[in-house]
Amino acid sequence: MRSECSDISTELESWYASDNGRYLLEETRGATQNLLDTTFGYHILQLGVRTPQPLAAGSPIHHRVYSAPTAATGANLVAVPDELPLDCDSVDAVIAHHCLEFAEHPQQVLREIQRVLTPQGQLLLVCFNPWSLKGLAGRTSGVLRHPLWSGYKALSQRRLMDWLHLLGCEVQGCKHLYGVPVAGKGRVRNFLQGADRFTVRHNVPVGGIFILHATKQVAGVHPRRRLSLVGRERLIGLVPKPSAAPSPATPAPRDGVTYHRDNNTQ
C-alpha cells in the first residue's frame, strides 16, 4: 500500500514538473490561497501530491503538517491517508491534493479526514474533474500512455458532495480550474491561457480541476486540544485540559432536618 501510494505521488510530481503542470499548479495555488486567507486555527494538514511549494505554505496557520506515505523531503508525517495517526478533532484545516482519486479506498480516506478535523474545520479537496476534456483524455487514450492514470478513479463533484453530506460536512462552494487545456507556444499559448482564465473567472464547470470547499458540522462544543509530534512517524496529542474540581454540595434534607453550611468554618 505504501509502495503504491509512493509510486502515484512520484508520477504526480513528475506531471506537475511539466510546463502544463506548473501552469496548473500556479492557478491552483492562487485559487486555494483565497480560501486559506480566511482559515485560522492551530494546525493544518496537507495530503497527496508533494510539490516544491505546497499549497498549505500560504496558510496563516503556522503549524503545517505535510504527510507522505514514505519518508520524503518536506514531509514531517509518514502515513497512508486512510490510516492517519492523529487524534479525533485535532486538525483545523486539511488540504487533500489529488489524494482521493488515486486512493484505493477514497471513502475511507474521506472518513479519516472528517475524523481528524475539528468542528467547523475547513476542508479543501483538489481533484481532477472526470467529465472535463482533461479527465476524459486521461480515462481513454491517456490511460494507455501514462502510468499515472492507471490508478485513477473517477470521482465527480456530485459524488463527493454526497459523501461529504453523509459525513456531516457542509459544502461551501466549488471552484473550477483549467477549463481550456494550455498548449503550444507564443501567441497560441497566450490565447489559450486567456481563454482558460476566462472560464476560471466565470467558474464554468468544465475545468480539468475542481476545488471543493467544505466545513465539518458537528453539534456541541469540543475543547481545544494540543497536537504534538512523538518520535519520527507519529503525531498524537489532544490531552483535554483538566476540569475544575467540583465545589462541595450541601447535603439533601433528611428526616425533617435541615443542614446549613457554616461560613465561619476555617
CA pair distance 105, 109, nearest whole angstrom: 7
Query: How do 77-78 and 63-68 pair as beta strands?
Result: parallel
DSSP class of 56: G
pLDDT single digits (tens) 61-110: 999 999 988 887 788 999 999 999 999 999 999 999 999 988 989 999 99
Averaged over 237-250, what is the pLDDT? 46
Contact 151, 249 (CB under 8 A): no
- Of 107, 103, 98, 85, nearest to 151 (Cα)? 103
**pLDDT confidence band for 257 (50 / 70 / 90):** very low
Domains of the chain (ranges plus CATH)? Answer: 2-237 (3.40.50.150)
In sequence order, what are the beta bridge partners of 175?
211
What is the value of pTM for the model shown?
Answer: 0.76
